[in-house]
Amino acid sequence: MSVEQQVIARSNQQCELCKSTNNLSIYDVPPSTDKQASNSLYVCDKCKAQLDKKEELDIKHWACLNESMWSEVPTVQVVSWRMLNRLKNESWASDALDMMYLDDDTLAWAKASGDHENSAGVDFHKDSNGTILANGDNVVLIKTLDVKGSSISAKVGTVVKNIRLVADNVEQIEGRVDSQLIVILTKYLRKN
Please write down the HEC assignment for all residues of 25-44.
EEEECCCCCCCCHHHEEEEE
Q: Stretch 115-136: mean pLDDT, rounded? A: 78
Tell me 132's DSSP state.
Answer: B
pLDDT grade, residue 100 (50/70/90)? very high
Are the CB atoms for 150 and 183 separated by under 8 Å? Answer: no
Question: Which 8-state DSSP code applies to residue 133?
Answer: P
pLDDT at 61: 95
**Does the predicted model carry a pTM greater than 0.85?**
no
Q: Are strands 189-191 and 139-141 parallel, antiparallel or unpaired?
A: antiparallel
CA distance 139 to 99: 48
CATH code: domain 139-191 is: 2.30.30.40
Contact indicator for 42, 10 with CB cutoff of 8 Å? yes
Kindly list the domain boundaries of the chain, sorted by start residue.
3-117, 139-191
CA distance 100 to 186: 41
The tens digit of pLDDT for each residue in 31-88 reads 877 788 899 999 999 999 999 888 888 999 999 999 999 999 999 999 999 999 999 8
Measure the N-to-C terminal CA separation of the chain; round to a whole number of Å: 48
Write the single-letter amino acid at 40: S
User: Can you tell me the distance from the alpha carbon of 125 to that of 98, in angstroms, rounded to the nearest whole number?
Assistant: 34
pLDDT 10s digits, 131-175: 889 999 999 999 999 888 888 888 999 999 999 999 888 899 999
